[in-house]
Amino acid sequence: MAEKVLVTGGGGYIGSHCVVELIEAGYQPIVVDNFSNAVREGNVPESIRRIEKLLKTSIEFHELDLLDRPGLEKLFKKHSFSAVIHFAGLKAVGESVEKPLLYYKVNLTAFMNLLEVMQAHRVRNLVFSSSATVYGDPQHLPIDEQHPVGGCTNPYGKTKYFIEEMVKDHCKAEKDWNAVLLRYFNPIGAHCSGQIGEDPQGIPNNLLPYVAQVAVGRRECLSVYGNDYDTIDGTGVRDYIHVVDLAKGHIAALKKLKEDCGCKVYNLGTGKGYSVLEMVKAMEKASGKEIPYKIAPRRGGDVASCYADPRVAEKELGWKAQFDLERMCEDLWRWQSMNPTGFSNGTC
């Protein structure tokens, strides 16, 4: 019988791609989401409906906010989970600077509820969706797992850091717990079918969805936040990783938990940084469209450069990013061109 894995925030961008990989790896994902960043189709996220059609399967879904402790308890009484993959949470850097209390309440309280309910029901295996933002302004590049953490430049990053600390302390106190903390760099791209991808609600907070929406004609112009950083062309440099590579990293993490690994931390990135303007050019090539842009002031909380040293994940998880920048942009453009207004009016 397939192992049941709880996926929180499984209707969102990264979560939905992870659900695909879980099913293809033989797991049974049980998905919860509160629709804060997922498009509704009846009682389920549109992303989940499309995965069911794509993989010719059915997926158990529950509309649930992790702040709803009784609802969470009910779910854990119904199912015996082998592990939890935790994606759910607010995730916009800029918004977190403007609304820090909201981010602390939602991200931290929800996670504490989840951890306590897991403990009560003896579910002791966790994969946590962390972020490279825990490193703050890089002291050296590329960033390895030994780089200092906690000097976060925004409240979103601080919530990821605080949750990591909670998990580390809990694993230290409870020796039978295992956790893998995955520090993502910048996921982009989409499933090769073009049926699921990133569909931000409202104005995109991340670069590539905005670039793709400009290319498809949904938005007029890209704002490039800052061109006076100490980088190749003055614009911010990031490590972009294909979302499918990222999703496969979670499958590798689940296998690591089987080794009674305690608490482990891994970077998931490619090890190569690209500037904003390099990404614009790559998307122009993939789409065949000119992408107009204008220079805007820097955003609060942004750093000049951030890219990974992913060698520990390769050594200990047997995981390595496979897709190059051209493929990332091609898959992103396929998704955007097939779904010009996102899930609300796609071609599935």
- The average pLDDT across 302-331 equals 96
CA 269/CA 341 separation, integer angstroms: 28
Q: Which of the 8 DSSP states describes residue 162?
A: H
What average pLDDT does the segment 297-317 reach? 93
Q: Of 13, 156, 210, 266, which residue is the catalytic one? A: 156
Residue 348 has pLDDT above 60, yes or no: no
Name which residue leads in pLDDT, 24 or 299.
24
Is 60 exceeded by the pLDDT of residue 346? no
What's the mean per-residue pLDDT of the chain?
Answer: 96
Which candidate, 286, 275, 199, 193, places its Cα nearest to that of 240? 275
**Residue 156 annotated among the catalytic residues of the structure:** yes
Q: Is the peptide bond before 142 cis (omega within 30 degrees of 0)?
A: yes
Q: Which of 30-34, 135-139, 298-302 reaches the highest mean pLDDT? A: 30-34
CA angle 319, 134, 18 (to 5 degrees): 40
What is the predicted pLDDT for the residue at 80?
98
The DSSP element (H or E) to which 33 belongs, if any, is strand 28-33
**Average pLDDT of the segment spanning 336-341:** 95
Residue 159 pLDDT level (bands cut at 50, 70, 90)? very high
pTM of the full structure = 0.96
- pLDDT of 142 > 70? The answer is yes
Band (pLDDT 50/70/90 cuts) for residue 53 is very high
CATH number among 3.10.580.10, 3.30.930.10, 3.40.50.2300, 3.40.50.720, domain 4-338: 3.40.50.720
Q: Please report which confidence band the pLDDT of residue 345 belongs to, taking 50, 70 and 90 as the band edges.
A: low
- Contact between 161 and 168 (Cβ < 8 Å): no
Report the alpha-carbon distance of residue 22 to residue 83 in Å, rounded: 12
